[in-house]
Structure 1
Amino acid sequence: MAQTHHSRPHELTPLPSALRVGFWLCVLVAIAAGMRRLLALGTTPSSAEPPDLQRLDQFFRSHASLTYAHIVVALVFVCVLPLVYWNRTRLRQPVRAAFYILGLIVGLTAFGMAAHPVGGSVEGAAVVVFNLLFLFSLAQSFRAWRAGDASADRRWTLRATAIVLGIATTRPVMGIFFATARLTGWTPHQFFGFAFWIGFTINTVVMEIALRRHARSIE
């Protein structure tokens, strides 16, 4: 039962500093990217923006309802994430309930977004693969939380967090592709999929390495 969590008031060992820094950078980038997309959806396109960016904004405007639903829920979810790791709030059922419910909605709406990917089938495949990994990790985290298994709970929660924040890591990768577009001739349709694969893979692999190298401090 979830109530068993209240019988373990001890504080968790702080995560390695590199993971904490990476976590906060990803949270800030995810919030900034989400806010930028919401502003772009609600404003008239500016002729001062690069053509590729204008076309990208227009693409998301053509699926505005789904984009709004996904991004608004994702922004709330990202804001809840720090509470899941703060010792004062991590055991509170409303916090964990919000984490699981919002995470599920983020995952489901991501599948909807994958039906109309900017980067075509390459991006769509990346979204499906990593979204399935995220939802699986979320389910395992929920199962461990309900069973009172603090160690498994933390490990699967970290995995779910790393995967979902992969969307933030794709942003600097996309920035590199945008910056080199004049040299490569690639458009967002051509490089978005690769940016998704790279960004989500980085987060997933880094977390798996951290879970193995810092097993004792993460338990």
Structure 2
Amino acid sequence: MKSRSIQYFRIILWIGVYSLIITLLVSTGLRLSMLSDFRATHNWPSTSSIDYKYARYPIMTLAHIIPGALFILAGVFQFNRTFRNKHPGVHKRIGKFYLLLGCIIGITALIMGITFQFGGIVETIAVTLFGLFFLYSLIKAYYYAKKKNFMMHREWMIRGYSLGLAVATMRPIIGLFFALTDIAFSIFFGYVFWLAFIPHILVAEWWIHYTRKYRKQSLQNKRAT
């Protein structure tokens, strides 16, 4: 019965993951197009606009959003059990690339959140806390992979990937703020980080604890065979 419910929830989670991936890829494409237009036309956005921050620091922006998109796509292969079981060597190589991408986006997120933040101190605190926890999750995932403790490796990978996906959840939340409130973007933007990242952390922890006993039994069965 538990196995069936896990399959049911796994389907729901993957639907959510793919929806967020599409959201993030569309957002990345729009951001790249915007940067290209700014450079081509020299029609720079207002200094009070968040777009001005991205346009002013294009290299940092590109160093963050392109690895971010690749990180999210690489994660799909890393968490695909069929692919992982059929191609363990490829899984390992992609995993190293995945962790490198994660370190790049984590470090650039910290730099951007501290040096040219748009949402004030609320954004800076959120980016610092979640950015450090994201990097910590990747380090722990790598550590347990080297120790061949794949149970713990999986759990820390889930935490890191969930935090990476939280950036996509920010998009619809921002849309809701614009649609339902008159609050200035610069005021609510910092709070959006908290509204997106905290639910992702909670869902990740719920899934980890919900599947832990099942995964432990599965690993024991594999060792027995």
TM-score by length of 2: 0.81
Q: What is the alpha-carbon distance in structure 1 between the residues aligned to residue 124 and residue 55 of structure 2?
A: 18
Aligned match of 2:208:
211
> Contact 1:89–1:95 at 8 Å: present in 2 too?
no
Aligned match of 2:158:
158
> Contact 2:72–2:161 at 8 Å: present in 1 too?
no
Q: What is the alpha-carbon distance in structure 2 between the residues aligned to residue 99 and residue 168 of structure 1?
A: 18
5+ residue gaps, structure 2: 1-5, 40-44, 217-225
Q: Say which structure, 1 or 2, has more relative contact order (CA 8 Å, 6+ apart).
A: 1
Aligned match of 1:116:
116
Q: 1:120 to 1:218 in 2, by over 3 A?
A: farther
1:32: Cα distance to partner?
1.4
Q: What CA deviation, in whole Å up to 9, does each residue of 1:81-121 have, x standing for no partner?
A: 11111235433321111111111111111111112111111
Aligned match of 1:34:
28
Aligned match of 2:223:
none
1:44: Cα distance to partner?
4.1
| 2:83 is equivalent to residue 84 of structure 1 | no
1:40: Cα distance to partner?
1.1
* RMSD of aligned alpha carbons: 2.2
| 2:185 is equivalent to residue 191 of structure 1 | no
> Contact 2:53–2:116 at 8 Å: present in 1 too?
no
Aligned match of 1:60:
54
Specify which structure has the higher proportion of helix.
2
| 2:146 is equivalent to residue 146 of structure 1 | yes
Q: 1:40 to 1:217 in 2, by over 3 A?
A: farther
1:217: Cα distance to partner?
4.1
Q: What is the alpha-carbon distance in structure 1 between the residues aligned to residue 20 and residue 177 of structure 2?
A: 19
1:56: Cα distance to partner?
2.7
Aligned residues: 198
5+ residue gaps, structure 1: 1-12, 46-50
Q: What is the alpha-carbon distance in structure 1 between the residues aligned to residue 143 and residue 111 of structure 2?
A: 26
Aligned match of 1:10:
none
> Contact 1:31–1:78 at 8 Å: present in 2 too?
no
1:144: Cα distance to partner?
1.0
1:204: Cα distance to partner?
0.7
Q: What is the alpha-carbon distance in structure 2 between the residues aligned to residue 29 and residue 111 of structure 1?
A: 22
Aligned match of 1:69:
63
Q: What is the alpha-carbon distance in structure 1 between the residues aligned to residue 200 and residue 215 of structure 2?
A: 17
> Contact 1:66–1:109 at 8 Å: present in 2 too?
yes
Q: 1:218 to 1:30 in 2, by over 3 A?
A: farther
Q: What is the alpha-carbon distance in structure 1 between the residues aligned to residue 53 and residue 112 of structure 2?
A: 12
Letter of the structure 2 residue corresponding to residue 121 of structure 1: I
Q: Percent identity?
A: 26
5 Å-filtered alignment, 1:174-189, equals 174-181=174-181, 184=182, 186-189=183-186
| SS, match of residue 81 in structure 2 | coil
| SS, match of residue 118 in structure 1 | coil
Q: What is the alpha-carbon distance in structure 1 between the residues aligned to residue 167 and residue 58 of structure 2?
A: 19
